[in-house]
Amino acid sequence: MEKLLIAGIDPGTTNAFCLIDLEGNVVSIGSGRELSHGRILSEITKHGKVFALGSDVYPSPNLTKKIASILGARVISPDHDLSYLEKIKIVDSFLKKKKEKINIQNKHEKDALAAAIYGLKRISSLIKKIDDNLKQNNKTHIHEQVKRKVLLENMPISDAVKILSS
């Protein structure tokens, strides 16, 4: 079963991307002046199923919307452009919690990481609700399948649990 992922993309002269999983682990990060849209797509899809693309600006860039549309993913964007200081705070607090070193090459990769983290933060309460529901009902063995139904198909948690328990 493919791993569920959230991508952050920083489009521009230098394109950057970052992938994180639902546990907040950085799966892949990269950037480049020659990083085409097709190459970004191939890089972010080879690690799992991207179900959401985080953005650090509002409205989210066309490239983010385009890639989300191709992937059938949702875009998670803030209600305002995240300031430089907000992004630094998001990334620094994230990195302080990590045991392993994450190699961030440049500002573009840092912005892509901030966008991915922002996306994860916005859905973390839903993930917690899923985990709590499963724990409460002794159904933790189906957590991966329930998360897929809820996050990919927008199915209510209780319906997903009911379907997967029968």
pLDDT tens for each residue of 15-64: 999 999 999 999 999 999 988 889 999 999 999 999 999 999 999 999 99
How is residue 8 written in tokens? Answer: 């952050």
> Could you tell me how far CA 139 lies from the centroid of its own chain?
25
Backbone phi, then psi, for 21, in 5-degree steps?
Answer: -90, 180
Instruction: Tell me how far apart the 2 most distant CA atoms of the chain are, in Å.
Output: 51
Residue type, 71: L
Work out the angle between the directed axes of helices 143-153 and 107-136 (0-180°, nearest 10): 120
- pLDDT-derived band at 1 (thresholds 50, 70, 90) equals confident
Its pTM stands at 0.94
How many percent of the chain have pLDDT more than 90? 92
Q: What pLDDT does 51 receive?
A: 97
DSSP bridge partners of 19:
7, 28
Q: What pLDDT does 35 receive?
A: 87
The mean per-residue pLDDT over the stretch 100-117 comes to 95
Q: What pLDDT does 99 receive?
A: 84
DSSP state of 15: E
| Residue 129: Cβ within 10 Å count | 12
